[in-house]
Amino acid sequence: MTKRYFLTGLLIWVPLGITVWVLKLLIGSMDQSLLLLPFSFRPESWLGMSLPGLGTILTIGVILLTGMLTTNIVGQRLIQFWESVLARIPVVKSIYYSVKQVSDTLFSGSGEAFRKVLLVRYPHPEAWSLAFQTNLPRDVGSSLDGEYVGVFVPTTPSPVNGFYFFVKKSETIEVGISVDDALKYIISMGVVTSADKESPARVYPGN
Q: Over the stretch 106-131, which tens digit does the pLDDT of each residue have?
A: 565 444 567 789 999 998 989 999 99
Residue 199 has pLDDT above 50, yes or no: no
Residue 187 has pLDDT above 50, yes or no: yes
- The span from the CA of 174 to the CA of 119, in Å, is 6
pLDDT value at residue 105: 60
Element (H, E) at 20: helix 2-31
- The span from the CA of 27 to the CA of 52, in Å, is 8
Ranking 13-17, 46-50, 52-56 by mean pLDDT, the lowest is 46-50
Residue 200 has pLDDT above 60, yes or no: no
Give the C-alpha distances (Å, rounded to integers) separating 185 from 10, 141, 153, 177, 190. 21, 30, 13, 11, 5
How many CA atoms within 13 Å lie on the side-chain side of 79?
A: 12
Name which of 153, 152, 149 is nearest 166 in CA terms: 149
- The span from the CA of 42 to the CA of 34, in Å, is 7
Element (H, E) at 152: strand 148-154
pLDDT band at 201 (very low <50, low <70, confident <90, very high): very low
In terms of Cβ atoms closer than 10 Å to its own Cβ (0-12, 13-18, 19+), residue 120 is buried
Name which of 156, 164, 143 is nearest 191 in CA terms: 156
Give the C-alpha distances (Å, rounded to integers) separating 25 from 19, 29, 53, 141. 10, 6, 11, 42
Mean pLDDT of 132-158: 86
Which amino acid is present at 64? L
